[in-house]
Structures are given as structure tokens and as C-alpha cells.
């Protein structure tokens, strides 16, 4: 089952990223669909993050879940820092979108999508599954 944990985390974050880019593509064509798809991306991200954090802090740690870093601890800390910044930006994007603060929402989208993509890709290389 430990192999499944990293797979589930990667799958959840992949679905989240796909939703964000798909939603972005509908921003001018169909704003209602843009909102629904992006909120699904937020949901996938939050569910996956809670799953990961539960393993890290409530259970025996991510190593016990079969997830190991492939890089020095400082790189993992940097990844976590930018993941946390990305999380705050994602929630701010959701809030500004829901409350229709269009100008702020538009200014944040490039920063958020770029940072989230970098954090996503780096996470694929930083962690691996072992016995």
C-alpha cells in the first residue's frame, strides 16, 4: 500500500494542475465553466494536501508512508516553502475569483500558475517511493 501513497499524491496534484490550465483556457469563452473547473482544481489540491499532511503529522511521517526525498533536506524545505506560498496564492485566486475582484485575480494568475507548475514539477523529482 505504501507505493499507492505517492501515486495518489501525484495523481491528485496532476488533476489539480490540469484543472487549473483547463479552467484558464475557458476564462474568456465560458466564465461559468472556468469557475467550476478551477474550483475542482482547488478541491483536488486541498484534498491531496490534507492527505499528505495527515501522513506527515498525524501518522508516522511520510517515510512510513513509503515516500522518500531524493535530494538534501534543504531542497525539500525550499520546495515546501514555495508549496505553501502557492497554496496561499491558490486560495487568494479562488477568493478573488468568487468575489469577482477581476483586476487582482487577473494580476495573480500568471504568478500562481507559474509557481504552481514549478512546485508540481519539482515535487515529481524530489520524492520517490521505496520499500
pLDDT digits (tens, 9 = 90+) for 16-60: 999 999 999 999 999 999 999 999 999 999 999 999 999 888 988
Q: Model's pTM, two decimal places?
A: 0.90
Parse the chain into domains and list their residue ranges. 2-129
Region of residue 76 (phi > 0: left; psi between -120 and 50: alpha; otherwise: beta): alpha
Those residues whose C-beta lies under 8 Å from the C-beta of residue 117, and which sit 6 or more positions away, are 17
CATH number attached to the domain at 2-129: 1.20.120
Any alpha helices (H) in 1-128, and if so which ranges?
2-25, 31-53, 73-98, 102-126
C-alpha cell recorded at residue 10? 501525484
Give dist(CA 11, CA 29) in Å, integer. Answer: 28
Amino acid at each position: 500500500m505504501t507505493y499507492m501513497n505517492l501515486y495518489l499524491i501525484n495523481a491528485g496534484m496532476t488533476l489539480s494542475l490540469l484543472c487549473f490550465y483547463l479552467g484558464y483556457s475557458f476564462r474568456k469563452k465560458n466564465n461559468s465553466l472556468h469557475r467550476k473547473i478551477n474550483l475542482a482544481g482547488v478541491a483536488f489540491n486541498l484534498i491531496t494536501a490534507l492527505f499528505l499532511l495527515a501522513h506527515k503529522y498525524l501518522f508516522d511521517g511520510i517515510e512510513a508512508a513509503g515516500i522518500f526525498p531524493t535530494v538534501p533536506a534543504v531542497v525539500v524545505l525550499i520546495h515546501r516553502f514555495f508549496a505553501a506560498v502557492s497554496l496561499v496564492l491558490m486560495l487568494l485566486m479562488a477568493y478573488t475569483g468568487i468575489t469577482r475582484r477581476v483586476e487582482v485575480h487577473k494580476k495573480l494568475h500568471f504568478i500562481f500558475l507559474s509557481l504552481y507548475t514549478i512546485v508540481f514539477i519539482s515535487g515529481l523529482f524530489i520524492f520517490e517511493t521505496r520499500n
